[in-house]
Structure 1
Amino acid sequence: MSTQPPFEEPGATPKALRVLESLTEHSRVSDLATATGLPKSTVHRLLKVLVEMGFVGTDGAGNYRVGSRAVRLANRVIDRFDLTTQAEPALSRLRNETGCTVHFALRTGGELFYTHKKEPDKPYRMSSRVGMSLPWHSSSIGKAVMAAMPAEELDALLDTLPLEARTPYTLTTREALTAQLEHTRHTGYAVDDGENEDGIRCVGAAVRDHTATVMGGVSISTLSLEHSMHDLVLLAPTVTRAATIVSSSLGYPG
Structure 2
Amino acid sequence: MKTHLQILFRNTKRRKTAMKKSRYTVPALEKGLAIIELLARAELPLGVTDLYDLSKIPKSTIFMILTTLESLNYVQKVEDGKYRLTLKLYNTGMETLTKLDIRGIARPIMEKLAVDLRFTVHLAMLENGKAIYIEKVKGPGFVQFSTEIGQTLHLHNSGVGKALAAFLPEESLELFLRQNGMPATTANTITTPEAFQAFLTNVRDSGYAIEDEEGELGIRCIAAPIFDSHGRIAAALSVTALRNELPSVAFQAIGSKLQDSALFISRQLGYDKNKELSHPSGDE
User: What is the TM-score with the length of structure 1 in the denominator?
Assistant: 0.68
* Counterpart check, 1:156 vs 2:165: no
Q: CA deviation at 1:81?
A: 4.1
Moved over 4 A (4+): 12-15
Deviations 1:168-216 (A, max 9, x none): 1111111211111111111111110000111001110111112222121
* Counterpart check, 1:208 vs 2:227: yes
Contact residue 169 and residue 195 of structure 1 kept, 8 A? yes
Contact residue 114 and residue 140 of structure 2 kept, 8 A? no
1:137 corresponds to which of 156, 163, 178: 156
Contact residue 201 and residue 229 of structure 1 kept, 8 A? no
Code of the residue aligned with 2:260 in structure 1: it is R
1:234 corresponds to which of 230, 241, 253: 253
1:105 corresponds to which of 124, 128, 131: 124
Larger RCO: Structure 1 or Structure 2 (Cα < 8 Å, ≥ 6 residues apart)? 1
Q: CA deviation at 1:12?
A: 4.5
Q: CA deviation at 1:97?
A: 2.3
Rounded to whole Å, the distance in 1 between the matches of 2:103 and 2:246 is: 29
Q: 1:204 to 1:149 in 2, by over 3 A?
A: same
Indicate the residue corresponding to 1:44 in structure 2.
none
Contact residue 119 and residue 140 of structure 2 kept, 8 A? no
Gaps of 5+ in 2: 1-21, 33-70, 73-95, 274-284
Q: CA deviation at 1:234?
A: 2.4
Rounded to whole Å, the distance in 1 between the matches of 2:26 and 2:200 is: 46
Rounded to whole Å, the distance in 1 between the matches of 2:175 and 2:181 is: 13
Indicate the residue corresponding to 1:73 in structure 2.
none
RMSD value, Cα: 2.7
Contact residue 101 and residue 221 of structure 1 kept, 8 A? yes
1:10 corresponds to which of 27, 40, 47: 27
2:217 corresponds to which of 190, 198, 202: 198
For these two proteins, the number of residue pairs brought into alignment is 191
Q: 1:6 to 1:229 in 2, by over 3 A?
A: farther
Indicate the residue corresponding to 1:167 in structure 2.
186
Contact residue 205 and residue 218 of structure 1 kept, 8 A? yes
Contact residue 115 and residue 140 of structure 2 kept, 8 A? no
Q: CA deviation at 1:105?
A: 0.5
Compare CA radii of gyration and give the structure with the larger one: 2
Rounded to whole Å, the distance in 1 between the matches of 2:140 and 2:151 is: 22
* Counterpart check, 1:125 vs 2:144: yes
Rounded to whole Å, the distance in 2 between the matches of 1:8 and 1:99 is: 49
Deviations 1:96-142 (A, max 9, x none): 22221110012224232111111121111012111111111100110
Indicate the residue corresponding to 2:113 in structure 1.
94
Aligned residues with identical type, % of pairs: 29
Rounded to whole Å, the distance in 1 between the matches of 2:179 and 2:100 is: 31
Contact residue 139 and residue 192 of structure 1 kept, 8 A? yes
Code of the residue aligned with 1:219 in structure 2: it is S
User: What is the TM-score with the length of structure 2 in the denominator?
Assistant: 0.61
Instruction: Find the residue that maps to 2:245 and give its secondary structure.
Output: coil
Rounded to whole Å, the distance in 2 between the matches of 1:14 and 1:153 is: 35
Q: 1:238 to 1:14 in 2, by over 3 A?
A: farther
Instruction: Find the residue that maps to 1:145 and give its secondary structure.
Output: helix
1:247 corresponds to which of 266, 271, 282: 266
Rounded to whole Å, the distance in 1 between the matches of 2:213 and 2:258 is: 18
Instruction: Find the residue that maps to 1:112 and give its secondary structure.
Output: strand
* Counterpart check, 1:188 vs 2:190: no
Rounded to whole Å, the distance in 1 between the matches of 2:205 and 2:101 is: 31
Gaps of 5+ in 1: 16-36, 39-76
